[in-house]
Every structure is written in structure tokens, then in C-alpha cells.
Amino acid sequence: MTTFYLIDFDRTIYDTIKGADMMIEELSRVSEQSAETIHRQVQESDKTGASFAIRDRIVDLVGEELAKKVEERFVKRAQGEAMLLDGTNELIDYIRSQGSPFGILTYGSPRGQEMKIRSAGMGDVPHLITDRSHKGELIAEWWQGDHFTLPAELGGGTADQLVLVDDRLLSFDGLPLNALGYWLAPELSVFDTVEHSPQVQTVASLREVIERETKRLTH
């Protein structure tokens, strides 16, 4: 059986907070006022848990030409930093050791997400950027009755089973029964009581995903 792993990006494997802070620092070299504005907006977004398209907001403030310069400096700087969250490399190594394909399925602004993926040194990983926050509904459209047909952005081909790892519960909405989800929720004491689909398992870390998958595949 071929299993394809879909991994969310922001806050799942990518240090979104660190990335935003670095982007704001680079923006401050161009415009202190714009950097302060973005900083406030990021803080407000963090309070509500909403997604924040930082590159798009920077374009709104300073224009595309200056935003591109900020992006280039940010990506160059970030590539020398550790931008991936704890357990990411271990999860990827585990998936590869199983001989399974994987890709990134991320929600957000195309230019902004491409920028962050490159900054993390993952530009060569197949990735699909979607404007649909309910990723399960998108995945359900790939089901052909006895297999999943993967979009070209994720390498094409087919898979018998899909596994989605994501930090947002709403991402799993509409997930078909023949797919498995791991909801990354470190604060289990708070989130474990939230009702969710039976094929979505709550995990506290990416390493726990490895543990759960090891048990599942050996039974």
C-alpha cells in the first residue's frame, strides 16, 4: 500500500514566529514605520490565531519593488538560520526511511508561502499552496473510489492512503474516511477535549507522529 504524507507548513514544521520577526527586522531597514505597523498587525493576528500574509501586507505598505528587496534579504539571511521546528527533520527522515513520498500542503498567499518555503531550504520539496483552509475537502476531491490521484504540484501519481499532519483542526474538515490526520496540538490538556473526526488523532509533537505511525504500520 502506498501512503502519501501531506505536511502543513506554518506552525507545523516552520517557525512562523521567528520568520515574521526576521522579516520585520529586514523591513525596518527600509521603513521603521512600516515595520512597526506590521509588528502590531502580527501581534493582533497571533491573539486570534488567524493566518497573516506578511509579504502581502508589506507590499501594501511599501510596494512590490521594495518588498522584493526585503524578501531577498530575508531569504538569504534565513537560509543560514534554523527555521524548521523541533522534530521536523526526524519526521522527514522517518517518512523517507519507509520509502514513502511526501509533500507540503499549505494555506496562504502564494508569493508569501513560496518565500517562506524557500527560506527554510525546502524549495525542492513538492508543495501545493491552497486558498482553501478546509484541506480535508480538497483531499476528498482527489479520491477516485479506490485510490487518490495527486495533483501535479505534489508530484502527480496515485496513492492508496493519505496522511495529513496539521496544527489547525479546521484543516481536517471534510477529510475522507480513507485518510488519516494527525492534529498537532501541544496543549493537550486544553485541546484533547475538543470534538473531532475519529480518523484524526491528537498529538503533542512531530515525534509522536513518528511513534503513532510506527505502531500503525507494524500492526
Which of the pair, 119 or 217, is modelled with greater confidence? 119
Q: Which residues pair with 7 in a beta bridge?
A: 104, 165
Same domain? For 199 and 173 the reply is yes
Final residue before a domain boundary, out of 53, 78, 103: 78
One-character DSSP codes across 130-194: ES-S-HHHHHHTTB-SSSEEPPGGGT-SEESEEEEEES-GGGGTT--TTEEEEEE-S-HHHHTTS
Q: Express each pLDDT in 44-60 by its tens digit.
A: 888 777 788 999 999 99
Q: Model confidence at 1, in pLDDT bands (50, 70, 90)?
A: low
SS3 125: coil
Q: What is the model's pLDDT at position 119?
A: 96
Q: What is the model's pLDDT at position 190?
A: 47
Q: What is the mean pLDDT of residues 162-167?
A: 97
Q: Is the pLDDT of residue 174 over 70?
A: yes
Q: What is the average pLDDT score of the chain?
A: 93
Q: What is the model's pLDDT at position 219?
A: 76
Our count of domains for the chain comes to 2
Task: Provide the domain limits for residue 152.
Answer: 3-14+84-217
Same domain? For 50 and 110 the reply is no
Q: What is the model's pLDDT at position 179?
A: 95
Asked whether the beta carbons of 7 and 106 are under 8 A apart, the reply is: no
Distance CA 100, CA 213 (A): 12
Same domain? For 9 and 25 the reply is no
Same domain? For 37 and 100 the reply is no
Same domain? For 153 and 48 the reply is no
Q: What is the largest CA-CA distance in the chain?
A: 57
Q: What is the mean pLDDT of residues 59-88?
A: 96
Q: Is the pLDDT of residue 141 over 90?
A: yes
Residue 35 burial by CB count (10 A; 0-12/13-18/19+): exposed, middle or buried? buried
Asked whether the beta carbons of 21 and 35 are under 8 A apart, the reply is: no
Same domain? For 69 and 169 the reply is no
Same domain? For 107 and 38 the reply is no
Q: Look-up: residue for cell 537560509?
A: 79
